[in-house]
Amino acid sequence: KNEVEQSPQNLTAQEGEFITINCSYSVGISALHWLQQHPGGGIVSLFMLSSGKKKHGRLIATINIQEKHSSLHITASHPRDSAVYICAAANTGNQFYFGTGTSLTVIP
């Protein structure tokens, strides 16, 4: 049983498309993290949120605590957005539960 489930596992989009990646979790959390990993690269933190919505540039993250669900949206997608996006749930004890990631490919 996975504490964090992501969908879809793989996603291919045309440049300019609006993209949504979904994350559901079953544990109690203090925060929900969205992470990005480019091929062969390290993992970088995109968002950490515990309620509502956050926006950085073309990226938007939302969370619904009652439904235990979060989404990552990318507006006007670009080939450089091609990466693996990982959802991670953090509890108050500093434990992290990771999804298996969504592999995004944006085609020019």
Distance CA(104)–CA(108), nearest Å, equals 13
- Contact with other proteins (CB under 8 A) among 88, 89, 104, 106: 88
Minimum CB distance to other proteins, residue 25 (Å): 13
Within positions 16 to 75, which residues make up the interface with other proteins, using CB under 8 A?
Answer: 30-31, 33, 35, 41-45, 48
Minimum CB distance to other proteins, residue 71 (Å): 18
Distance CA(73)–CA(35), nearest Å, equals 13
- Contact with other proteins (CB under 8 A) among 19, 24, 62, 101: 101
By CB neighbour count within 10 A (0-12 exposed, 13-18 middle, 19+ buried), where does 42 fall? Answer: exposed
Minimum CB distance to other proteins, residue 18 (Å): 25
Q: In angstroms, how far is the first alpha carbon of the chain from the final one?
A: 37
59-26-34 Cα angle (round to 5): 20
Residues near other proteins (CB under 8 A) are 4, 30-31, 33, 35, 41-45, 48, 86, 88, 90, 94-96, 98-101, 103
